[in-house]
A and B are shown apart, each in its own frame.
Chain A
């Protein structure tokens, strides 16, 4: 076999390897979905970020509109500062709210972005005004148990308490507590 044909075959071999790498990177890994054009950065402060990780998706109505780029602790307020980048083509009102949610029962955590009603839109560098922390199962169970022990009288206290978990989430717990104590009678 001539020298030239060997060189051609080796060239083909290397080209095949590059094609394989491109396939792995674009089709079978996240290079094709990451970045992808123009973005702007927002910040949100959370009392508790739970298990949120860098590169976690940001979703609105279930559609992925951006990703978490950095997570830091604010050393003055002791809140988690989450930086997210949103695709430029999606604009959100100034009073949009960010929540940390969980996909499925035990799935990965992501940020849900609920659009508000303001006329002005968020611009790069803005801090989201309303946030809702991750639901910590231990806190939830603790509230449920204390609600159950003290009976219906604790119902208002549980809701009014400045718990890290937000108002909408603990609501089912006192209801369950009342139905449980009702069954006891």
Chain B
């Protein structure tokens, strides 16, 4: 009985210790941000690795999501004689929810894993320990540029996802099905607000960028320095980042869009 109680207590304490550890890690990275901004070439290289190289998967997914949303919405809306509202529905769905969320999930899978694996292997190859020996702060040299790169790249990717998705919906609805293009665009323009819809979507994308990048960096930095450890950390990056994106999305949606 006491053994069971002790185990429960130890697990709880371990859990909270892990949380505290992650929070201190996040604060350390934040503290290292100004120093790495002075060496912006490192950040640029990371934007290339995180942003440019994720472009293909993001653009392809955005286009595909726009295509299928337009097709499904068309079948649902035609009985009500509201096929022209298709553009509005696709636009709001993409800009408010799907753009940031799907980009966040893809970002965790495409960029987060590579960050974790890279840092994990640096640790396994004792490069991080070597930096510390040379009095170079690995958080400023390795982690902070990746953190800034992730925060800059993620909103851009989310915007491109939404924009390409709307173009995809236009292609299917107007070119393929024959919805009137004037109504397609004008209903969007009267009902979608720049600040409320596009702006809040952008805020979501920045928040998801911070969450995904920090989780990936933390998992990589705290990995066990073995091949299995790196593999395990990479998997955990995807799972934890995805859960964070979905959970934060609900909270942010409740805060932003609870009033009509």
Contacts and interface: CB of A to CB of B under 8 A. Distances in A.
Interface of A: 3, 6-7, 9-10, 12-14, 16-17, 20-21, 23-25, 27-34, 55, 57
Contacts of B51: 10, 13
B198 A10 contact: no
Contact of B190 (A3, A14, A30): A30
Interface in B177-199: 185, 188-194, 197-198
Chain B interface size, under 10 / 10 to 19 / 20 to 34 / 35 or more? 20 to 34
Interface in B127-174: 152-153, 155-157, 159-160, 162-164, 166
Interface stretch (B39-47, B118-126, B212-220, B245-253): B39-47
Nearest to B87: A28
- Residue of A9, A30, A33 most packed against chain B (CB within 10 A): A30
27 contacts: A6-B45, A7-B41, A9-B48, A10-B51, A13-B51, A13-B52, A13-B55, A14-B152, A16-B156, A16-B160, A20-B159, A20-B160, A21-B202, A23-B163, A24-B159, A24-B163, A25-B194, A27-B189, A28-B95, A28-B166, A29-B91, A29-B95, A29-B189, A29-B194, A29-B197, A30-B190, A57-B190
What 7 A-B pairs come out closest when comparing CB atoms?
A17-B156, A20-B163, A29-B192, A20-B159, A31-B194, A29-B194, A20-B160
Contacts of B153: 13
B162 A20 contact: yes
A34 B191 CA distance: 11
A27 B157 CA distance: 19
A17 B55 CA distance: 11
B47 A10 contact: yes
Task: Please report whether the interface of chain B is mostly helix, strand, loop or mixed according to DSSP.
Answer: helix
A30 B192 contact: yes
B70 to A, nearest CB: 14
B48 A30 contact: no
A24 B95 contact: yes
Interface string B209-233: 0000000000000000000000000
Nearest to B62: A20
Nearest to B167: A23
B48 A21 contact: no
Contacts of B52: 9-10, 12-13
